[in-house]
Homo-oligomer: A and B are copies of this chain.
Amino acid sequence: MNFSSDTSAPAHARVIEALLDANSGMEGSYGGDSATAAVRPLLEAVFETDDFDFWMTASGTASNALALSCFCPPTGAVLCHEQAHIERDERGAPEFFSGGGKLRLLKGFGARIERDALEAALGQINRDFVHETPADVLSLTNLTECGTAYSAAEVALYARLAHDKGLAVHMDGARLGNALISTHAKAADMTWKAGVDVLTFGLTKTGAIGCEIIILFGRARTKYADLKARAKRSGHMPAKMRFIAAQARAMLDGGLWLELAEHANAMAADLADVFTGAGFDLAYPVDGNEVFPLLPDDAAKRLRKAGALFYPWADNSSRFVCAWSTGPEDIAAVRAALAAG
């Protein structure tokens, strides 16, 4: 009954096996190894294109900040939701990596930027007015921090609006797999085909140890040398890169990442049913592996007493995150604890 975070889960067995496989003999450092070379074709298959460059890090925070810093100059700004991970949970990483860029916070239900807020923010940009900091990047999180998803069509619309005003589009895909499963979208449709210029493709929360892939699509590839220099300079160019690459291989090969995301989503759906069945409303729709019930104090207490771990969240809700390792027994335990009240 540990629903505190999908980062509290262990890694999938195949990830560990892949580390074992990779741990053999001498290999080139800093990405010059055979495991890293094997990642590219797997990404090509996932994204149905070879028009991209990529870099792998062990950190979602670093991957977001590195991606943003390639597009947001020190004198610029990033548009994001006011509950975005880059604003709330990264201790100023985007500001640090960009050299003092700003985040401009947009509103919207369930951590989804609402169209009016986006259009208003875009409308206010005046690149000729030197006193104000104009936005240079739009950052969308999918799955969002409230467990809701943007459809591929919505991403495409928002990306078009942003591009029309000269902004680049970043997607924080720390839980991309979960969003793809629930929106029935293919990875390509949700990303580059929708206009995403740079993606943080997260595999850590999905089931790896620490593996996030920054992908520059199409014309954004001009930033690749800058990305590598920034990765090196920030300590995100591991000497023994093969061990991050091995994780990527394990997760991408045969679609394990989507399998695990699908399972986590299914557990979340079951958990949501438990809460609604017990008469509790949900603060947000369940579009992925997170459930946000509006629990009365006594229900929350009962759950904690029974050993459930979860966090208080925005809008008086509680956050329950299902991981690849969450099992039906965890769901059943919640049901039992609630019923015992």
Contacts and interface: CB of A to CB of B under 8 A. Distances in A.
Contacts of A89: 131-132
A236 interface: yes
Identical chains bound together, number: 4
A240 B209 contact: yes
A102 to B, nearest CB: 6
A75 B234 contact: no
Interface stretch (A15-23, A39-47, A259-267): A15-23
Interface in A99-139: 99-103, 127, 130-133
Size category of the A interface is 35 or more
B75 A226 contact: yes
Nearest to A24: B10
Given A99-B99, A99-B100, A16 B25 contact: no
Given A61-B233, A77-B92, A90-B232, 18 more contacts: A8-B29, A10-B24, A11-B23, A26-B309, A26-B323, A62-B234, A74-B92, A74-B233, A75-B233, A89-B132, A91-B229, A91-B233, A96-B99, A99-B100, A102-B103, A204-B240, A209-B243, A210-B240
Interface of A: 2, 4-5, 7-11, 13, 16, 19-20, 22-30, 57-63, 65-66, 73-75, 77, 88-93, 95-96, 98-103, 127, 130-133, 204-205, 209-210, 225-226, 228-230, 232-240, 243, 309, 323, 325
